[in-house]
Chain A
Amino acid sequence: MDMGAHVLLLILLSSLLPGVAIFFLREEQFVLRTALNLGGALLKFLLIIGLLVGVYRDGKTYSLSVNLLPGIDLVLAADALSLLFATLSAVLWLVTTIYAIGYLEDSPNRSRFFGFFSLCVSATVGIAFSGNLITLLIFYEILTLATWPLVVHRGTPESFRAGRIYLAYTLIGGAVLLGAVVWLTLLAGSEPFVVGGYLQDLAADHGTALMVIFAMLMAGFGVKAALLPLHSWLPRAMVAPAPVSALLHAVAVVKAGAFGIVRVLNDVYGVELAADLGVALPLLLLAVLTIIYGSVRAVFADDLKQRLAFSTVSQVSYIILGAALAGPIGAVGGLVHLVHQGIMKITLFFCAGNFAETLGIHRVDEMRGVGRRMPWTMTAFTLAALGMIGIPPLAGFISKWYLGLGALEADMAWVTGVLVVSSLLNALYFLPPILRGWFSRREGPWPDERHGGRWLETHWMLLLPTVTVAAMALGMGLLASLAISPLYWVTFIVEFEYGYDHIWSAIFEWETP
Chain B
Amino acid sequence: MTPDTWLLLIPLTPVLLLAALALPVVGRHLWRLTPLAVLPALAGALWLPEGAWAFYPWLLLGTELALDPVGRGFLLLTALLWGAAAVYAQGYLGAGPARVRFHAFFLLAMAGNLGLVVAADVAFFYTSFALMSLAAMGLVVHEQQFESWRAGWVYLGMALVGEVALFTGLILLVHDAGGHGMSRVWEQPPGTAAMILLLGGLGVKAGMVPLHLWLPLAHPAAPIPASAVLSGAMIKAGLLGWMRLLPPGSVPEALGTVLVVLGLVGAGYGVLAGVFQYRVKTVLAYSSISQMGLMTAGLGVAMMHPALAPALIPALVLYALHHGVAKAALFLGVGIARRVGRMAALAWLLLPGLALAGMPLTSGAVAKTLLKAPMYDAPVDLSLVTLGLSTAAAGTFLLMLRCWVLATGGLREPRPVPVSLWLPCLVLVLGTVVLPWALAPEDAFKALAVEPALALLWPMGLGVLIGGIALLLARFPGWTLPRLIPEGDLWVPLERGGRGVLGWVSRTPWFWRMPGGGFTLALIHGLPRLWAAWLDRVARGERLLLRWEILGMLFIGLVLAMLAAVYLGAVMAPS
Chain A interface residues toward B at CB < 8 A = 69-72, 164-165, 167-168, 171-172, 175, 178-179, 181-182, 185-186, 189-190, 371-372, 375, 386, 390-393, 397-398, 400-401, 404-405, 408-409, 413, 416-417, 420, 423-424, 427, 431, 435, 438-441, 455, 477-482, 506-508, 510-511, 513
Q: A420-B167, A513-B181 given. 14 additional CB < 8 A pairs?
A: A70-B567, A168-B545, A391-B163, A393-B131, A408-B172, A420-B164, A424-B164, A439-B142, A440-B144, A455-B24, A477-B60, A481-B58, A508-B62, A513-B53
Count of CB-CB pairs between chains A and B under 8 Å = 143
- Given A401-B61, A481-B62, A510-B184, verify A392-B126 contact (CB < 8 Å): yes
B171 to chain A: closest CB distance in Å?
4
A219 to chain B: closest CB distance in Å?
15
A42 to chain B: closest CB distance in Å?
28
A479:B58 contact, CB within 8 angstroms: yes
User: Please, how many angstroms separate the alpha-carbon atoms of A393 and B172 in the complex?
Assistant: 19
A182:B565 contact, CB within 8 angstroms: yes
User: Please, how many angstroms separate the alpha-carbon atoms of A409 and B138 in the complex?
Assistant: 37
A392:B60 contact, CB within 8 angstroms: yes
In the complex, chain B residues whose CB is within 8 Å of the CB of A171? 551, 555
Residue B179, interface by CB 8 Å: yes
In the complex, chain A residues whose CB is within 8 Å of the CB of B168? 404, 416-417, 420
B55:A513 contact, CB within 8 angstroms: yes
| Chain A to chain B: the 10 pairs with minimum beta-carbon distance, closest first | A71-B570, A392-B127, A186-B569, A510-B179, A408-B175, A404-B171, A420-B164, A182-B562, A164-B546, A393-B127
User: Please, how many angstroms separate the alpha-carbon atoms of A164 and B551 in the complex?
Assistant: 10
User: Please, how many angstroms separate the alpha-carbon atoms of A332 and B571 in the complex?
Assistant: 41
A199 to chain B: closest CB distance in Å?
15
User: Please, how many angstroms separate the alpha-carbon atoms of A134 and B193 in the complex?
Assistant: 48
Residue B156, interface by CB 8 Å: yes
User: Please, how many angstroms separate the alpha-carbon atoms of A390 and B130 in the complex?
Assistant: 10
- Does more than half of chain B's interface fall in helix, strand or loop, or is it mixed? helix
Per-residue CB contact flags for chain B residues 128-169 toward chain A (1 = under 8 Å, else 0) read 001100100110011010000000100010001101100110
9 contacts between A and B (CB under 8 A): A167-B551, A179-B562, A386-B134, A404-B168, A405-B171, A435-B137, A455-B24, A511-B57, A513-B64
A66 to chain B: closest CB distance in Å?
15
User: Please, how many angstroms separate the alpha-carbon atoms of A431 and B152 in the complex?
Assistant: 12
In the complex, chain A residues whose CB is within 8 Å of the CB of B562? 178-179, 181-182
A510:B178 contact, CB within 8 angstroms: yes
B62:A511 contact, CB within 8 angstroms: yes
B308 to chain A: closest CB distance in Å?
30
In the complex, chain A residues whose CB is within 8 Å of the CB of B570? 69-72, 185, 189-190
In the complex, chain B residues whose CB is within 8 Å of the CB of A186? 565-566, 569, 573
B183 nearest CB neighbor, chain A only: A513
A71:B571 contact, CB within 8 angstroms: yes
B566:A182 contact, CB within 8 angstroms: yes
B571 nearest CB neighbor, chain A only: A70
User: Please, how many angstroms separate the alpha-carbon atoms of A390 and B175 in the complex?
Assistant: 18
In the complex, chain B residues whose CB is within 8 Å of the CB of A398? 61
Per-residue CB contact flags for chain B residues 541-575 toward chain A (1 = under 8 Å, else 0) read 01001100001001100110010011101110101
Residue B509, interface by CB 8 Å: no
Residue B123, interface by CB 8 Å: yes
Per-residue CB contact flags for chain B residues 352-371 toward chain A (1 = under 8 Å, else 0) read 00000000000000000000
User: Please, how many angstroms separate the alpha-carbon atoms of A171 and B562 in the complex?
Assistant: 14
A49 to chain B: closest CB distance in Å?
20
- Given A424-B161, A510-B180, verify A185-B156 contact (CB < 8 Å): no
A72:B566 contact, CB within 8 angstroms: yes
User: Please, how many angstroms separate the alpha-carbon atoms of A179 and B160 in the complex?
Assistant: 46
A439:B138 contact, CB within 8 angstroms: yes
In the complex, chain B residues whose CB is within 8 Å of the CB of A513? 53, 55, 64, 181, 183
B160:A427 contact, CB within 8 angstroms: yes
Q: Which B33-64 residues sit within 8 Å CB-CB of chain A?
A: 53, 55, 57-62, 64
